[in-house]
Amino acid sequence: MNDTDTAQRPADQTDEVSLLLEDQLCFALYAAQRALTNRYRPLLEQFGLTYPQYLVMLVLWQHGALPIKRLGTLLDLDYGTLTPLLKRLQAHGLIRRERQVDDERSVQISLTEQGSELRERVRVVPAAIGEAAGLTLQETKDAKALVEKLRTNISEAD
């Protein structure tokens, strides 16, 4: 912000705590998240994935088969949000949902062969996002670390 912006503000909005939209960290994060998700959309459409489905696939590619509860924890998604995502991924032949023999309440999520093969094809996505962001590798790492710190601090404040 420059001096003319401050000079044009009403007196009650020049205090240290601002209620102007452009001064809010929450709005900056919200707008950045929307822009990022919108950038992912056309990249993921070519693979038949939505952004939330892509996140599920990333976790499964990294960890392999997981109980749905663990998958939800890793993605910070509740069961009601995760279940429709998983049903669509299963309908597309990318994952399997199987009840555990030893615990009928537990559902194991695993990749199909098609789901495993998709991993190699989507490798172009992170590079395209990195290029669109216009950040160096170090800037990307720093931004990610700062956002993670913010999330941790806010979560611990509860």
Confidence at residue 96, expressed as pLDDT on a 0 to 100 scale: 97
| Helix, coil or strand: residue 4 | helix
In a domain, 57, yes or no: yes
* Residue 147 within any structural domain of the chain: no
> What are the structure tokens assigned to 131, written together?
């290029």
User: Dihedral (C-alpha) 99, 101, 104, 107: value to the nearest 10 degrees?
Assistant: -30
Neighbours of 86 (CB within 10 A): 21
CA atoms within 13 A on the CB side of 107: 14
The verdict on residue 118 lying in a domain is yes
Is 54 part of a structural domain of the chain?
yes
Residue 114 sits in which domain range? 22-122
Rounded to 10°, the helix 25-45/137-156 angle is: 120
Distances from the Cα of 54 to the Cαs of 59, 153, 155, in angstroms? 9, 27, 24
Q: 103 lies in a domain?
A: yes
pTM over 0.75: yes
The Cα 37–Cα 50 span in angstroms is 10
Q: 103 falls in which pLDDT band (50, 70, 90)?
A: confident
Residue 93 covered by a domain? yes
The residue behind tokens 């590798």 is 137
List the Cα angle 49/106/83 in 5-degree steps: 30
Instruction: Please tell me the predicted confidence (pLDDT) of residue 20.
Output: 97
Number of independent structural domains in the chain: 1
**Banded model confidence at residue 10, pLDDT cuts 50, 70, 90:** low
Task: Specify the CATH number for the domain of residue 111.
Answer: 1.10.10.10
Q: Tell me: pLDDT of 15 over 90.
A: no
Residue 126's identity, in one-letter code, is P
3-class secondary structure, 110 = strand
Residue 145 within a domain: no
Token match 């669509």: residue?
Answer: 88
